[in-house]
Structure 1
């Protein structure tokens, strides 16, 4: 019963977060006007807002907020899976080199002046990094969680070095600002196509992951125990890693690399509902969505009219929270 109460509470918190974030800003827009605008654009009734203010809600603020929710949910889900599959509590969605690969693809198109291709290039870069990680891990024998992690670290370091070299060699004047903003994680340019990418990734990869709680529970006891419970360990690991990579690649392609969401939120949710993945997965997604909405709202408002990359905000919040979680684990162990 307590877990169901948490689920209802977090759904309500997400809806409240979306509403507040859309109303927050220089234009004085009320929650009733926000939902009236949404209903109007969905074909229900007329909006009470004049065209300019309606455009602020529908074209500027709502896409950004929904993109933040999708990215936060996706990264939190990916973090839960990576920690379960690798049996490593320090694992995060970027452990397989996905972030560095996406960054290299994004920087390449930004330097070529093809910003419209940024999501595609970032996603392809993430997939190439994943393929390189798995090939490197398999080059020395059977792919194991330990080898996969080490290969991901190597690929991430290489892609990061190439990205830095490309920036150093080609950037002139102030052209580095757009690149730096993306590398630090930003939702400033999020519009409805970004919402579509994020929600499509949640539907295609996120929902199947949320339905895999029993399988991830089996991995908690090791490969041998999972096999005795009827899990095809190798096939399942490949499927889960691929789904996680697709989910993470899609999120990074629209937001850049936003750290700590997939690392700390699964641990925080475990404190609420325990380690069983059937509840941990969907609740982590809800917490991740609300968390990134608030972090992005802070990023665009704390130093108005200047805007921080949201990755800076998540790092400022995430680092001390993660330290507190580590201290709590040490006290309880």
Structure 2
């Protein structure tokens, strides 16, 4: 082999092994104090190398996405049920499940997906995966999202799981909505308005005592190149969610003792099925059965009922 061909081969090989982009660091005292390494991952190899170290515990999770165009069949359903959201959703889910079972694997339409970033925060690092650029689902990412041993904690995860299902078609386990954890903690003041979880901004302000800037939430997540500010913004949501989870776990335990009540984890912990949350509890024989919001007397249904 000539030296020129070796050089060409080395150049090709180095392109596959390029280092992930590190934005160092997010740090400061205000408005939200944190110090993390923010690492942008845009190849499967980078993602698998970074994420394989996470085996158990909790990770902060968030996504950023934009609207995608409906497929031809989806557009037919949208046109057929223009004023019936429930029927439209049921028909869409039925179509998706039928398509999923019609072939051994689901072919992701990478040129038409809404999902752009999936952020995973762990210890002093946060990885921002540009899945649209990766054009694949790294096996270590999928392992983490489907693991019952790793809690994926975030705010407003119901929207995130719906987008992941629509685009990528896989289920997840052990998701924790810290927005609902905060609502249970602050039930006296925030538990009377029905089933609507608290926003990340409200959670950070009322639980942690800081503010968080959400100005970039509506920025262009479909852009070919994302700015460093967009990446930092995306990372901060996952970091804040992880910190909220750490604080809220202790606060809810203390509230249980002080009020002599039970705060079921099933209120804020769920798996997914066809892009929808499913909550379960343990029956006396050890089997898992569906948990209903009426199973919590002091917070029955979707509203604070007063302490016993």
TM class by smaller structure: under 0.3
Q: Higher RCO, 1 or 2 (CA under 8 Å, sep at least 6)? A: 1
- Decide which structure has the larger Cα Rg and report it: 2
Q: What is the TM-score with the length of structure 2 in the denominator?
A: 0.23
Q: Which has the higher helix share?
A: 1
